[in-house]
Amino acid sequence: MDLGVFGLNAKATIGPRETTRLARRAEELGYRSWWVGEHVVLPSPRVRASPMEATDPILDPLVSLAYVAAVTERLELGTGIVILPQRNPVVLAKQVASLDVLSGGRVLLGVGAGYLEPELTAVGVSLSERGRRTDEYLDAMRALWTQPSPAYRGRYVAFDGVDAHPRPVQVDGPRIVIGGQSPAAYRRAVARGHGWLGVNPTPDELVEQLAALAKAATEVERPARLGRLQINLTMVDPVDGATARRFAQLGVDRLLVYPLPLEDPADVTAFLERHADILG
């Protein structure tokens, strides 16, 4: 199981000096991946479901990862997650391919359907359409990354007679990681994802989620090109060594620690240093 870090594109970690120092320190400490989240806008005033105050700063994930790519050499660069139905998939495909080229093939594209109605509405997307848009957008982006003559026709996106280069460095496009803990998200992970991203389960809860993923695998077909479904976890709560080892035993591929509350870069550094050997 690899160790990664999540969330350092928000609050006190967003500045260029802080980003450079933290990313390089994470790489020195042996963290294998660096993941960032996304909220284009947030409800103001804050609603119960919102993870942040509307005034809390959070950088665009692709812009942030491009900066991290430039100051590191080995860290995998993950979005955890991009809220896919809020994005134009043709433009996003170009952005992700560009990041993959500039990073030397280090991109892990984590996506989700979203859940904050005010945020979706602000960018002109109906909450009820978000699942179907997510599926179509994934298929459309893969067409642009992999087809000799890209073409796609769906309800929400359609194109032909166009092309987009450069293609991603990674064969078949960047690895896709599907976030979410609903039956639809589990089916999407099986049918379209190289991996699945869960958030803050206990080991017992993860057992139930893995069973739900196994059930989804009986309901939808998994293309052979995707290989084994990788399991990724973002942990909001603190994780001790025993819990980390239990996750490893359950087959988790990447465990992402989250240095909350992100109010002081020095505290974040200390957190990363304390947790660097959590798997030992």
What CATH code is carried by the domain that includes residue 230? 3.20.20.30
Measure the CA–CA gap between 69 and 20, rounded to whole angstroms: 10
Structural domain span for residue 234: 2-275
Q: Is residue 93 part of a domain?
A: yes
In a domain, 184, yes or no: yes
- Among 180, 188, 200, 173, smallest CA distance to 83 is for 180
* pLDDT value of residue 280: 73
Residue 221 belongs to some domain of the structure: yes
Question: Is position 90 within any domain?
Answer: yes
Q: What residues contact residue 155 under an 8 Å CB cut-off, 6+ apart?
A: 132, 136
Say if CB 200 and CB 255 are below 8 A apart. no
Distance CA 118, CA 129 (A): 14
Rounded distance, CA 192 to CA 263, Å? 36
Rounded Cα distance between 104 and 168, Å, is 9
Alpha helices in the chain (DSSP H): 16-28, 61-71, 89-103, 117-122, 130-146, 183-192, 203-217, 241-249, 265-275
- 164 neighbors 150 (Cβ within 8 angstroms): yes
> Is residue 280 in some structural domain?
no
Domains of the chain: total:
1
Answer positive or negative: Cα dihedral of 9, 12, 17, 20: negative
Query: What is the structure's pLDDT at 122?
Result: 96
Structure tokens at 240: 């001790």
Output the pTM of the full model.
0.97
* Per-residue pLDDT in tens (0 to 9) along the chain, 280 residues: 999 999 999 999 999 999 999 999 999 999 999 999 999 999 999 999 999 999 999 999 999 999 999 999 999 999 999 999 999 999 999 999 999 999 999 999 999 999 999 999 999 999 999 999 999 999 999 999 999 999 999 999 999 999 999 999 999 999 999 999 999 999 999 999 999 999 999 999 999 999 999 999 999 999 999 999 999 999 999 999 999 999 999 999 999 999 999 999 999 999 999 999 998 7
How does strand 76-79 pair with strand 33-36?
A: parallel
Q: Is the peptide bond before 223 cis (omega within 30 degrees of 0)?
A: no
Question: Is 261 part of a structural domain of the chain?
Answer: yes
Distance CA 46, CA 118 (A): 10
Report the relative pairing of strands 254-257 and 2-6 from DSSP bridges.
Answer: parallel
Contact 34, 254 (CB under 8 A): no
Confidence (pLDDT) at 189: 98
- pLDDT at site 279: 83
| Residue closest to 5 by CA, chosen among 108, 67, 107, 76 | 76
140 part of a folded domain: yes
What single-letter amino acid sits at 151?
A
Q: Is residue 54 part of a domain?
A: yes
